[in-house]
C-alpha cells in the first residue's frame, strides 16, 4: 500500500515539527497511528507531504516497524515543545518510517499538488491527514516516478 501523510512543518503552529532537520539527523522517525492510516503494514510506502510554508511532497519512506517497544525522543524537533503534548505514545500505536529518498531540487516543483492537479492526477488542494493508494493511484504512480527519477542522475525532467 502507498499512503500520503501530512506533516505540519509550520514553526508558528503549536503542532509544528522540524522534519527537515529530523531526517537530516536520523534515518528513522516515528509517527503516531491515526485512524486514517489503519491497515499500514511493514514494507508499505509513505509519502510525506509537508504543510505550509513548504506545501510539497518531500520524503518517500518505508514502514519498517509497527508498535515499537521504544519511543524515539524527538522533542528537540518540535517548534513549540513547551506547548505541544507528546503525540507519540505506546497507547496510540506507532509507525516507524525509514527515509528512502528525498525529492531533489530539480524535481521539487513537479511534486506539489498544484502541478499534479494541472496534470489531472488529483483534485486535492492539500493532503488532509492521510490519503491512500486505492483512491489516488495515478498520483502515487506519478510520485513513484518522480522520486525514483530523483535517485538517478541521468533522468529527464
**Domain residue spans of the chain:** 2-136
Question: Hey, what CATH class is 2-136 in?
Answer: mainly beta
Q: What is the pLDDT of residues 98-142, one digit of tens each?
A: 999 999 888 889 999 999 999 999 888 878 767 888 889 999 999
Q: What is the pLDDT of residues 27-82, one digit of tens each?
A: 999 988 887 788 899 999 999 999 989 899 999 999 999 988 888 888 889 887 76
Q: What local confidence, expressed as pLDDT, does residue 23 receive?
A: 96
Phi-psi region of 83 (alpha: psi -120 to 50; beta: other; left: phi over 0): alpha
Give this prediction's pTM: 0.88
Amino acid at each position: 500500500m502507498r499512503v500520503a501523510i501530512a506533516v505540519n512543518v509550520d514553526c508558528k503552529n503549536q503542532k509544528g515539527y522540524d522534519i527537515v532537520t529530523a531526517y537530516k539527523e536520523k534515518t528513522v522517525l516515528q509517527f503516531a497511528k491515526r485512524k486514517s492510516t489503519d491497515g499500514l503494514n511493514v514494507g508499505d510506502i509513505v509519502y510525506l507531504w509537508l504543510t505550509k510554508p513548504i506545501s510539497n511532497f518531500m520524503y518517500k519512506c518505508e514502514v519498517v516497524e509497527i508498535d515499537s517497544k521504544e519511543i524515539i525522543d524527538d522533542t528537540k524537533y518540535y517548534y513549540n515543545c513547551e506547548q505541544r503534548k507528546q503525540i507519540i505514545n505506546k497507547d496510540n500505536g506507532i509507525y516507524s518510517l525509514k527515509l528512502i529518498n528525498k525529492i531533489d531540487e530539480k524535481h521539487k516543483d513537479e511534486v506539489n499538488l498544484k502541478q499534479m492537479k494541472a496534470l489531472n492526477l488529483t483534485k486535492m488542494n492539500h493532503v488532509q491527514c492521510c490519503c491512500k493508494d486505492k483512491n489516488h493511484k495515478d498520483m502515487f504512480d506519478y510520485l513513484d516516478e518522480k522520486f525514483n527519477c530523483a535517485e538517478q542522475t541521468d533522468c529527464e525532467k
